[in-house]
């Protein structure tokens, strides 16, 4: 008895858990390690039947997704929508992470097209992206100054150096940047090779920012005052500005725009010199409209309590701008607000986990598109809350929500978004989502306050719950 107890104790110390009622050294118990006995048991799970060998051969040569296509769900789909906002034309972000910018500017250009009376008009993504990268550089460097007293391995400082800058973003970036710098037509500041393929240049800029950040910390340790550090930061930003010019061009201070409509507020002028800010205020927003104050960011995150307001630290593009602040709502309430907006011909900034269950060839996002369960002989049963908690799902891509199809009872059956992957992608550049998919993988929308019930607006009066910048649910959309 003593020998058995001692063996059990030794096994427990070694990390092997055994029953105290039947301990035998030669018997395989629950293991922390993959022992030869455990490996033999695992190997027995593959029996190499002709069917299993055929599946293995097919998967290794064709790939999982093609093998998992669910033919029972591959029939023709009804692509009609009972409520659809007129589209503004498909754009292409190419090899960049600027979906947030394309989505925001697609909404703004829809307004400009209506006021200008044109069907062929695009706002310059390159112009606003230039200032996005400049502002993010300042955000990082000022963050280094603000945290100069913290240890370099503190969580905040470590996060800053890990994420000095990116080409991803959120709605608040569009709102803050357009409000501060205005917008210009695409012809005034066209795309460059670098803006269409951002990763290489971003890598060099991030490296330079990290170097500048280390310099700021070293100067602080040597006794440089906060004001002196901020003056040094401005000198560093001069280098950043020059680098951005080399990559994206010189952003215009003014430009001449011709062929103004007869309804122009400028007394029938056929052309006029605009500043980017004047153009934005004239053609992209209504008089007195505020892209921050007049809009509410809504989230469906079942891993956190509903009816609460959350703010994500450092989830902004401009140092003196707005963090991502949202109201967490049940999916039914969020859908109701989205429908109200679309009924009033108002497109919506929308983001989701786009890669899940999406057939990129047809542009249809449907939970039944692929049958991985049958293919792999197992099930994938996590719900939305569990997927968020285990980092399996989160918001990855922003698009423009433009249509919904309602059944006889007014319930949504499918949704449609204008994407920014070019017209050759998906359904001629659009993505169609079943409502079942929408509920599982949609995360964020931005709606005008007038479409939100008083109960939702009242929630904004509460003090936001502050979440750290490194919360994995709130990575930038790209």
Structural domains of the chain in order of their starting residue, each with its CATH number: 1-35 (no CATH), 101-283 (3.90.70.10), 290-474 (3.90.70.10)
How does residue 14 score in pLDDT terms, banded at 50, 70 and 90? Answer: very low
Q: Which two tokens stand for residue 113?
A: 């097209």
124: nearest Cα among 202, 193, 182:
182
Give the bridge partners for 427, in sequence order: 430
pLDDT (0 to 100) of residue 34: 93
Res 182 pLDDT > 60: yes
| Residue of 106, 323, 369, 419 with catalytic role | 419
Q: Is 352 a catalytic residue?
A: no
Nearest to 14 by CA among 23, 269, 22: 23
Copy the structure tokens of residue 180: 């501060």
Share of the chain above pLDDT 70, in %: 91
Spatial contact of 299 and 328, defined as CB atoms under 8 Å apart: yes
Please give the average per-residue pLDDT across 223-243, as a whole number. Answer: 98
- Asked if residues 241 and 123 have their Cβ atoms less than 8 Å apart, the reply is no
Single out the catalytic residue among 18, 99, 202, 452.
99
Check whether 269 has a pLDDT greater than 50: yes
Is 138 tagged catalytic?
A: no
Ranges 5-14, 40-49, 160-169, 231-240: which has the least confidence? 5-14
Q: What is the pLDDT at residue 322? A: 95
The region of weakest confidence among 38-47, 74-83, 90-99 is 74-83
Q: How many CA atoms lie within 13 A of 6 on its CB side?
A: 3
CA distance 164 to 154: 15
pLDDT given for residue 30 in this prediction: 62
Whether 92 and 116 have beta carbons less than 8 Å apart is answered as no
| C-alpha angle 73-74-79 in degrees, rounded to nearest 5 | 95
**Segment 7-16 long-range contacts (CB within 8 Å, at least 24 positions apart):** none
How many CB atoms within 10 Å of residue 138? Answer: 18
Q: What number is the average pLDDT over the span 23-39?
A: 71
Which of 120, 124, 72 is CA-nearest to residue 374? 72
> Considering the chain, what is the average pLDDT of its residues?
90
Query: Which residue from 411, 349, 347 is spatially nearest to 85, judged by alpha carbons?
Result: 347
Residue identified by tokens 């507020």 is 265
Contact yes or no for 414/434 (Cβ under 8 A): yes
| Low-confidence winner among 334-338, 410-414, 425-429 (lowest mean pLDDT) | 425-429
Q: Which long-range contacts (CB under 8 A, 24 or more apart) does 57-60 make?
A: 59/375
Q: Which of 163, 317, 322, 397 is flagged as catalytic?
A: 397
Across residues 403-427, what is the average pLDDT? 94
pLDDT of residue 472: 65
Q: What is the pLDDT of residues 150-177, one digit of tens each?
A: 999 999 999 999 999 999 999 999 999 9
Render pLDDT for 345-367 as a digit per residue (tens, 0 to 9). Answer: 999 999 999 999 999 999 999 99
Is residue 460 scored above 50 in pLDDT? yes
Whether 397 is a known active-site residue: answer: yes
């Amino acid at each position: 008895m003593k020998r058995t107890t001692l063996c059990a104790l030794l096994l427990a110390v070694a990390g092997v858990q055994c029953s105290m009622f039947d301990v035998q050294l030669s018997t395989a118990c629950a293991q922390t390690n993959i022992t030869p006995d455990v490996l033999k048991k695992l190997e027995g799970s593959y029996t190499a039947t002709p069917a299993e060998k055929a599946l293995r051969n097919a998967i290794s040569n064709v790939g999982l997704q093609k093998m998992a296509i669910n033919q029972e769900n591959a029939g023709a789909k009804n692509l009609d929508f009972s409520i659809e906002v007129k589209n503004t034309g498909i754009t292409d972000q190419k090899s960049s992470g600027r979906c947030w910018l394309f989505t925001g500017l697609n909404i703004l250009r829809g307004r400009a097209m209506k006021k200008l009376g044109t069907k062929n008009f695009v706002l310059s993504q390159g112009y606003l992206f230039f200032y996005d990268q400049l502002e993010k550089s300042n955000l990082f460097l000022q963050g280094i100054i603000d945290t100069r007293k913290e240890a370099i391995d503190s969580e905040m400082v470590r996060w800053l150096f890990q994420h000095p800058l990116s080409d991803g973003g959120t709605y608040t970036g569009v709102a803050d940047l357009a409000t501060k710098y205005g917008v210009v037509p695409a012809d005034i500041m066209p795309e460059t090779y670098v803006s269409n393929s951002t990763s290489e240049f971003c890598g060099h800029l991030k490296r330079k920012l990290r170097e500048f950040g280390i310099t700021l910390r070293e100067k602080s340790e040597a006794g440089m005052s906060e004001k002196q550090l901020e003056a040094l930061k401005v000198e560093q930003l001069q280098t950043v500005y020059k680098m951005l010019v080399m990559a994206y061009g010189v952003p215009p201070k003014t430009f001449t725009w011709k062929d103004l409509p007869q309804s122009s507020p400028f007394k029938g002028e056929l052309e006029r010199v605009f500043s980017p800010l004047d153009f934005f205020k004239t053609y992209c927003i209504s008089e007195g409209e505020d892209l921050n104050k007049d809009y509410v960011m809504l989230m469906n995150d079942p891993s956190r309590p509903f009816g609460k307001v959350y703010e994500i630290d450092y989830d902004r593009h401009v140092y003196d701008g707005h963090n991502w602040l949202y109201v967490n709502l049940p999916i039914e309430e969020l859908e109701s607000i989205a429908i109200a907006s679309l009924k009033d011909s108002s497109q919506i900034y929308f983001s989701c986990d786009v890669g899940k269950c999406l057939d990129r060839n047809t542009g249809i996002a449907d939970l039944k598109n692929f049958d991985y369960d049958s293919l792999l002989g197992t099930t994938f049963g996590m719900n939305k809350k569990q997927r968020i908690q285990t980092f399996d799902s989160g918001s990855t891509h922003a698009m423009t929500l433009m249509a919904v199809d309602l059944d006889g009872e007014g319930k949504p059956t499918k949704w449609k978004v204008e994407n920014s992957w070019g017209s050759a992608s998906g359904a001629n550049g659009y993505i169609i989502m079943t409502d079942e998919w929408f509920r599982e993988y949609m995360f964020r929308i931005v709606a005008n306050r007038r479409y939100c019930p008083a109960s939702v607006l009242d929630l904004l009066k509460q003090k936001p719950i502050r979440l750290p910048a490194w919360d994995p649910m709130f990575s930038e959309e790209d």
